[in-house]
Amino acid sequence: MNCVRTATPADAEAVGLVTQEAFGGSHAGWVAEACRRTPEAWRVLEHNGRIVSVCQIQLHPLRIGRCQINKGDVGHVSTLPEFQGRGFGSELMRDTIGYLKEAGCQIGRLGGLIAFYSRFGWVPFARRYYEFPLEPARAGVRTLQPDEYLQPPKGFRGFVVPFDPVRHHEARARLHEAFNRDRTGAAVVTFGEPPKRHEAKPDDTGLRLACEMGGELAGYVFAFARPQDHTAFEAQVEIGEVAFDYGKPEALGALVAQVLRVAYQRGAKRVTGRLPFDERVESALRAAGIPYHLVEIHTAPASNMIRIVDLLGLLKRIASELEARLAASAVAEWEGELAFCLDDAQSAVVESKGGSMGVWDWTPGEFRVNLDQATVLKLVLGLRSFSECARVNSVTDARIATEVCNALFPRQATASGVWG
């Protein structure tokens, strides 16, 4: 007899054992501790009273303009080797979709084998990252090594120092909010109270850095190191979180240059980072003379994958943002209905009437927008505009409806990393 349920602290050792047996390595200790600390983030499948399959589900609120949506991040999906091939992992994954919806998630994300997860409605989705090559550069007859050309910007008046989690706490929170305020897909972060001095010391890894200019925090970057490159987008040294004052772009250049110098001195051949694809970021890097590649990667047979868990809930969540976009557009006076229909039979209607936006769960026939799940998320995140990846199906003139969709779903400044 099988039972799928949320874990308890008493399940921690069994959860750790399942992941270690499935993946090898030394998962048991830290997974058990993670389960013990946040058991509500783990789902387990019991077979005849024994835990044989597990997965972790973490909930992340994401910013979409003035609104928020909830993403469920699914990971550590694993089954004891002697129970694999008997449908336990499949049963757990079928449960996951219902659980995500009950938990208030509108979208889900995971990484894994396309052939397996596509059976449960998950579809491949892109990842974005920066790659910083640590290579010699030819300058006329000279060849410059990275530690020669990765220097602070000329005339730089700031100071790059180890990030201090106590002293920089409040300024980091303000900077993070300002940097991500207008960026779709950015994680909604609550910083809380600063840690006590005895609990947190300034960084000693050389990879968590702050830039101070005029006595104030102008930017920070958090990078970390692993023993070796892990994947194409997870290098030996990887930049995770970054924020800077848009009025002081030289701060970003100085911070990234310092991370790259440290990485080079430690033998790394490249650094990757989940910085947003944003002209203000790219301009700051170019001004600092930092070489980089913008990479949008679509991998196979394993991939980043997404699932629209609740289309109706998703559109309801962002209705006020869609209303504001329409009101600011050239078609602000439009009134009517648009039916958005997914290839998995989910549908929802967006109605504009009297300056208000409503979302309903029935499907009229005049203006229909047929979409796949990946396109829905591209539109919601602003990775693509409506005109780039979708069209209105109609038995009458669809021109005005197309203009409305273009107003509702323009390209946006978008965060990287959280959704892939």
Write out pLDDT tens, residues 194-209.
Answer: 999 989 999 999 999 9
What was the pLDDT predicted at 28? 84
In this structure, is residue 414 part of a structural domain?
A: no
Q: Assess contact for 183 and 413: CB atoms under 8 A.
A: yes
238 and 367 within one domain: no
Min mean pLDDT across 132-136, 191-195, 279-283 is at 191-195
The string of pLDDT tens digits covering residues 15-56 is: 999 999 999 877 789 999 999 999 999 999 999 999 999 999
257 and 207 within one domain: yes
User: Cα 420 from chain centroid?
Assistant: 5
The pLDDT of residue 395 is above 70: no
Q: Assess contact for 51 and 78: CB atoms under 8 A.
A: no
For 382, what's the count of Cα atoms within 13 Å in the CB-facing half-sphere?
Answer: 24
In whole angstroms, give the CA distance from residue 323 to residue 147: 50
In whole angstroms, give the CA distance from residue 50 to residue 283: 55
The string of pLDDT tens digits covering residues 177-200 is: 999 999 999 999 999 999 999 899
In whole angstroms, give the CA distance from residue 235 to residue 130: 11
In this structure, is residue 227 part of a structural domain?
A: yes
> Residue 397 burial by CB count (10 A; 0-12/13-18/19+): exposed, middle or buried?
exposed
Give the domain range for residue 169: 128-295
The pLDDT of residue 153 is above 80: no
DSSP helix/strand/coil, 139: strand
Q: Assess contact for 165 and 325: CB atoms under 8 A.
A: no
What residues have CB less than 8 Å from 271, skipping those under 6 apart?
131, 132, 134, 223, 235, 237, 238, 239, 259, 260, 263
Domain boundary among 295, 330, 347: 295
Number of domains in the chain: 3
What does pLDDT average to over the chain? 95
The pLDDT of residue 416 is above 80: yes
DSSP helix/strand/coil, 158: coil
349 and 376 within one domain: yes
96 and 12 within one domain: yes
Report residue 167: phi and psi, to 5°.
Answer: -65, -35
Q: Assess contact for 241 and 276: CB atoms under 8 A.
A: no
Task: Name residue 274's amino acid.
Answer: R
In whole angstroms, give the CA distance from residue 165 to residue 142: 41
In whole angstroms, give the CA distance from residue 18 to residue 238: 29
3-state secondary structure string across 231-292: CCCCCCEEEEEEEECCCCCHHHHHHHHHHHHHHHHCCCCEEEECCCCCHHHHHHHHHCCCCC
Which CATH number belongs to the domain containing residue 323 in this structure? Answer: 3.30.1050.10
- Owner of token pair 């051949």: 269
In whole angstroms, give the CA distance from residue 254 to residue 261: 11
In this structure, is residue 320 part of a structural domain?
A: yes
Tell if the pTM clears 0.85, that is, is over it: yes
334 and 280 within one domain: no
Which CATH number belongs to the domain containing residue 56 in this structure? Answer: 3.40.630.30
- Owner of token pair 């000329």: 154
What was the pLDDT predicted at 154? 76
In this structure, is residue 415 part of a structural domain?
A: no
- Do the bridges between strand 237-244 and strand 270-273 make them parallel or antiparallel, or are there none, so unpaired? parallel
Start-to-end CA distance of the chain, whole Å, equals 36
264 and 325 within one domain: no
DSSP helix/strand/coil, 15: helix
- Average pLDDT over every residue of 86-108: 96
Q: What are 333's two structure tokens?
A: 């006076």
